[in-house]
């Protein structure tokens, strides 16, 4: 896996810098800067006053955090922020626990019905969320789950994708380790939790990062299942806030920036794991 991340480890085919290389680098650099331009402008505008937003300079003349103070104190952004964090963390913990438990069971036990359970879970990958939201909505309405944290979280508590990913990784854990633990008299749950889980931490971190980011940015189901503002997640809250603000773009950009900052922090801190996780997930999937 390390080879993927370190281009320097590839055999040196170039001994001197060619002009073509410099051109390619420059074009790629310009393209890359263009890619993050929307994000840069979002931050730039969030630091401007209403009077300055027509001044399209990227570096604000007199940057101010007033918009942030206003949005965080007057709006419900803090609440939405905490809602999103709570929902995303709960769903992530649930996926890390259950997806790996099921993946482990399918990879390391031979039992009647194993193939059936595996294919049944895998087949749910074919079912689009959009098809399920109407029955989920009706189910939530009947059980009183609308407008509740549980109502936002329940559809994502386990995923076929995560289960499949974890199964692939548990298959690489040697059976000898598990047999040895059984000889020592450990029960099956302890073997999974104490012996097998620590051996698949790269996959677990990939699963955790993806589940967290996926739920942090989730929009469709939270939009449907919540109607009271106290329960909005950040993306849904941002939409309702932006609609209210109409053309106050500096406020909208501040809201968008608040929604983006946590993902940026996660990305900057865990960049290596995220990129590796995308590769793992994409190549296994």
Partner 1 sequence: MAMTQPSPQSGPRLSMRTRRAIWVWAFLALPVLFYSVIRFYPTIDAFRLSFTNWNLLSPPEYVGVQNYRDMFASAEFWQVFRNTFAYLIIGTPISLLLSFTVAYFLDRIRFGHGFLRALYFLPYITTASAMGWVWRWFYQPAPTGVINSVLGSLGMGQLDFLRSTTWALPSIMVTAIWAGLGFQIIILMAGLRSIPQTYYEAARIDGVGEFAILRKITLPLLKPTTVFLVVFSSIGFLRIFDQVYNMTTNDPGGPLGSTKPLVLMIYQTAFNSYQMGAAAAQTVVLFTILLAISLLQLWILRTR
For the segment 118-147, give every residue that binds partner 1 (CB under 8 A). Answer: 120-121, 124, 126-139, 141
Asked if 177 interacts with partner 1 (CB under 8 A), we say no
Q: Which of 56, 65, 78, 269 binds partner 1 (CB under 8 A)?
A: 56
CA distance 283 to 265: 26
Asked if 208 interacts with partner 1 (CB under 8 A), we say no
Q: Considering only residues 243-272, where is the footprint of partner 1 by CB under 8 A?
A: 243, 247, 249, 252-253, 255-257, 259-260, 263-264, 266-267, 271
Asked if 7 interacts with partner 1 (CB under 8 A), we say yes
| Eight-class DSSP state of 193 | I
Asked if 78 interacts with partner 1 (CB under 8 A), we say no
CA-to-CA separations, 87 to 32, 82, 93, 148, 210, in angstroms, rounded = 33, 8, 10, 10, 14
Asked if 219 interacts with partner 1 (CB under 8 A), we say yes
Q: Which of 33, 50, 66, 78 binds partner 1 (CB under 8 A)?
A: 33
CA distance 240 to 261: 19
Region from 66-74, 169-177, 200-208, 275-283 binding partner 1, contact rule CB under 8 A: 275-283
Q: Which of 80, 164, 216, 232 binds partner 1 (CB under 8 A)?
A: 216
Given a contact cutoff of 8 angstroms between Cβ atoms, the answer to whether 154 and 133 are in contact is no
CA distance 169 to 277: 13
Asked if 21 interacts with partner 1 (CB under 8 A), we say yes
Given a contact cutoff of 8 angstroms between Cβ atoms, the answer to whether 129 and 221 are in contact is yes
| Distance of closest approach, residue 17 Cβ to partner 1, in angstroms | 9
| Distance of closest approach, residue 74 Cβ to partner 1, in angstroms | 18
Given a contact cutoff of 8 angstroms between Cβ atoms, the answer to whether 42 and 257 are in contact is yes
Asked if 187 interacts with partner 1 (CB under 8 A), we say yes
Asked if 51 interacts with partner 1 (CB under 8 A), we say no
Among 108, 278, 273, 114, smallest CA distance to 197 is for 108
Q: Which of 68, 86, 98, 150 binds partner 1 (CB under 8 A)?
A: 98
Measured CA angle at 275 (ends 199, 168), to 5 deg: 40
Asked if 96 interacts with partner 1 (CB under 8 A), we say no
Using only C-alpha atoms, what is the Rg of the chain?
24
| Eight-class DSSP state of 194 | I
């Amino acid at each position: 896996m390390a080879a993927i991340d370190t281009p320097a480890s590839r055999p040196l085919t170039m001994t001197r810098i060619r002009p073509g290389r410099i051109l390619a680098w420059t074009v790629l650099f310009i393209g890359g800067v263009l890619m993050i331009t929307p994000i840069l402008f979002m931050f730039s505008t969030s630091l401007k006053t209403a009077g300055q937003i027509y001044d399209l300079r990227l570096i604000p003349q007199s940057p101010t955090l007033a918009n942030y103070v206003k949005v965080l104190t007057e709006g419900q952004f803090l609440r939405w922020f905490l809602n999103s964090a709570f929902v995303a963390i709960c769903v992530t913990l649930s996926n890390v626990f259950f997806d790996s438990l099921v993946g482990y069971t399918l990879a390391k036990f031979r039992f009647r019905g194993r193939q059936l359970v595996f294919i049944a879970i895998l087949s749910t990958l074919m079912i689009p969320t959009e098809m399920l939201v109407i029955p989920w909505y009706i189910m939530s309405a009947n059980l009183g789950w609308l407008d509740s944290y549980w109502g936002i979280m329940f559809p994502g508590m386990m995923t076929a994708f995560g289960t499949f990913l974890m199964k692939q990784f548990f298959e690489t854990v040697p059976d000898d380790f598990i047999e040895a633990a059984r000889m020592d008299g450990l029960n099956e749950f302890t073997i999974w939790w104490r012996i097998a889980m620590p051996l698949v931490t790269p996959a677990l971190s990939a699963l955790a990062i993806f589940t967290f980011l996926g739920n942090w940015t989730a929009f469709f189901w939270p939009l449907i299942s919540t109607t009271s503002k106290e329960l909005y997640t950040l993306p849904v809250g941002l939409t309702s806030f932006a609609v209210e603000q109409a053309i106050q773009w500096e406020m909208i950009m501040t809201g968008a920036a608040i929604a983006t900052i946590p993902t940026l922090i996660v990305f900057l801190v865990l960049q290596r794991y995220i990129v590796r996780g995308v590769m793992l997930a994409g190549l296994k999937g």
